[in-house]
Each structure stands twice: as C-alpha cells, then as structure tokens.
Amino acid sequence: MAVQTDLQNRTERTLGSSSWIGRLRALDLSSPRHADKLGYILLAPAVLLIFVILVYPILLSVDLSLQDVDIPRIGETREPYTLDNYTKLFGSAEFWRASWVSLKLIVVVTSACFAIGLATALLVNQHFKGRTLARLFVALPWAVPEVIAVVTWWWMFDSSFGLINWLLVTLDLADKPIAWLSQPVPAFLVVSIVMIWKGYPFVSIMLLAGLQAIPEDHYQAAKVDGAGAWQRLFWITLPSLLPVFGVTMILVVLWVFRDFAVVFILTGGGPIGATQTLSMMTYEQAFGFFRMGFASAIGVVTLVICVLATRLMVSRMAKSMY
C-alpha cells in the first residue's frame, strides 16, 4: 500500500512538472504572438527603478507637505493632514521674493547662454586651423566639476584678495575694491556670470550638433540666389535650429531653476535674500530650520512650476515647428 501511494505521488509530481513545462513551452516569448509580453517583462525592472528613485520620493514629499511636521521619525504618530504649509507658503513674502529672483535668473542666464552659445557654435562650425582645439576650449567650462568651478569664481570675486578687484584697481577702473558678494546687485550679477559661464558651453554643443545636421546644399543654393550672410542666418540657419532651440531651452531653464551649488557656495542666498532662489529656500527650511513639512511644500510647488513651464514650452515649440 505504501509503495502504491509513493508511486502515485511521483506520478502526480511528474505530470505536474510536465504540465508546467508544457505551459512554459507554449509561452514562447520570441514568437510575434507574445512580443508585447516580452516588452513588458523587459521594461519592468526600469519601471520599478524609476518608481523607487523618482515616484516614491515625490509621493513622500507630497505626504510630508500636507503635515505640520518638523523632523519626521519612523514609528512616530502621523500628524493629521492639513493645508497650513501651503497657506503659510503663499502668504510668505520670502517665497514670492525667491520666486522673483528665480525668474530673473532664468531670463538673464538663459538669454545670455543662448546668445553666447549661438555665437560660439557658429564660430567653431567654420573651417579654420585649430578648430578642434577651439571646440575643446568652448566645452571646457561645462566639463569642469561645478563645485570646483564655483569655488574658483568665489576666490576671483573675493573683496579682499580676489583677482577681479586687483585687476580693476590696477587698471584704474575702480577706486577701491568692490564688495561683490556683500551687496545685492553685485551679488546677483556674480551669480548670473558664473551660471552663464557654466551653462553656455552646453548650449553651444547642442547648437553645433544642430548646425552640422543642416545640409550644405541649402547654403550653396542661397548663395547662388544672392543671399548674404545675414539672410542665410535668418532664413536657413535659425529656422533649421528651431527643434534644437526648443529642447535646449527646456533643459537650460530647468537647470537654472533648480541649480543649488552656484548660489550656495557664492552667496548662500544673501545678501538680504538678493540671490535666494526656490531651491535655496527649500534647503534653508529643511536643513537650516528643520521644517521638513514646510520645505516639502516648497519642493512640491517648485515641481509643479517646472512641469507647467515644461508643458508650456513644449506646446509652444510644437506650434512653432508645425
């Protein structure tokens, strides 16, 4: 009896395993019939990673922004949901000042980056001796680590031992050293200069790639028709670069809006909030005053502004191209 039971169990296991093998063989992911399933399986790890790295922190920030919490701790009783953080934020003069500073930086830095980037891209796109070396020097500021570059600029604009003040005084362009980082207008100017220096190479590289994609036949045909250099620029080069302009502008605007290292190292948001951006305000509230709920509210509002700005620029770019 025991032998028969054991034989029956083995038979059932064998049949069960063979049925699973049959099912696996039937699920042939290489066949066109199951191509969509293979795609979902291959995408699953990337989707899971994106959720862990991006989606979960965003949901956690939204959750914290709806609680009146200073330092969240695991195991503590959750605070009730409230909109006090957002009410306090939109009623804060500091928030609107930081938003205005961020907007000014976006306008100044983006405009200057595109002007300098387009000029340098047109220059290094020409055929001349040493063009490779010129392209290397154009891309160099973008390749330097941001913290090292900003610390170097901070030393150059130092009011006591900086190179800029020494040059101005030596050349009789200034009567005395200028306190670049201690006055509102000069401090904003310094932050803008450093961001422009750091950001224009990226614009130049992007536009150079776009310039090299324009067929030379267009320029040759325009020359035959008698078009000058300015006419070729406005009627061939710039319209052909519109898609590159759109993508690059979105990336540059988002970079300026969220950049933290330049402001933190140069001025720390001062003097008197003259260079305090939304990212700097978020850092101060979170790690200076330990108001994690209020800082999360600033971060959520900043994210919403970035999404809306990106959506607006994408729609404008699509309308201009089509």
- pLDDT per residue as tens digits for the range 178-204: 889 889 999 999 999 999 999 999 999
Secondary structure (DSSP) of 95-120: HHHHHHHHHHHHHHHHHHHHHHHHHH
- pLDDT digit string, tens, across residues 233-254: 888 888 888 888 888 998 999 9
Residue ranges making up the domain that contains 296: 85-321
Does some domain include residue 24?
no
Residue 15, pLDDT score: 42
Give the model confidence (pLDDT) of 275-303 as tens digits.
Answer: 999 999 999 998 888 899 999 999 999 99
What pLDDT shows up at residue 132?
Answer: 85
Q: How far apart are CA 85 and CA 292, in angstroms?
A: 10
Q: What is the pLDDT of residue 239?
A: 87
Say if residue 267's pLDDT is above 70: yes
State the CATH number of the domain containing residue 232.
Answer: 1.10.3720.10
Structure tokens at 201: 């190479």
How many domains does the structure of the chain reveal? Answer: 1
Q: Is residue 5 part of a domain?
A: no
Residue 23 has pLDDT above 70, yes or no: no
171-180, 209-218, 313-322: range with lowest mean pLDDT: 313-322
pLDDT at 153 > cutoff 50: yes
The answer to whether position 16 is within a domain reads: no
Two tokens, residue 172: 């009789």
Examine residue 41 and state whether it is found in any structural domain, yes or no: no
Tell me the percentage of the chain whose pLDDT exceeds 70: 87
Following DSSP, what letter does each residue of 69-97 receive, concatenated? -SS--TTSPPPPB-SHHHHHHHT-HHHHH
Higher pLDDT, 263 or 30: 263
Decide: 260 and 283 in contact? Cβ < 8 Å.
yes
In a domain, 64, yes or no: no
Residue 110 located in a structural domain: yes
Does the structure show a pLDDT above 70 at 218? yes
**Residue 150 located in a structural domain:** yes
What's the pLDDT tens digit per position in 71-104? 777 767 777 888 999 999 999 999 999 999 999 9
**pLDDT of 6 above 60:** no
For residues 56 and 25, which has the higher predicted lDDT (pLDDT)? 56
pLDDT for position 12 = 47
Whether 49 is in a domain gets the answer no
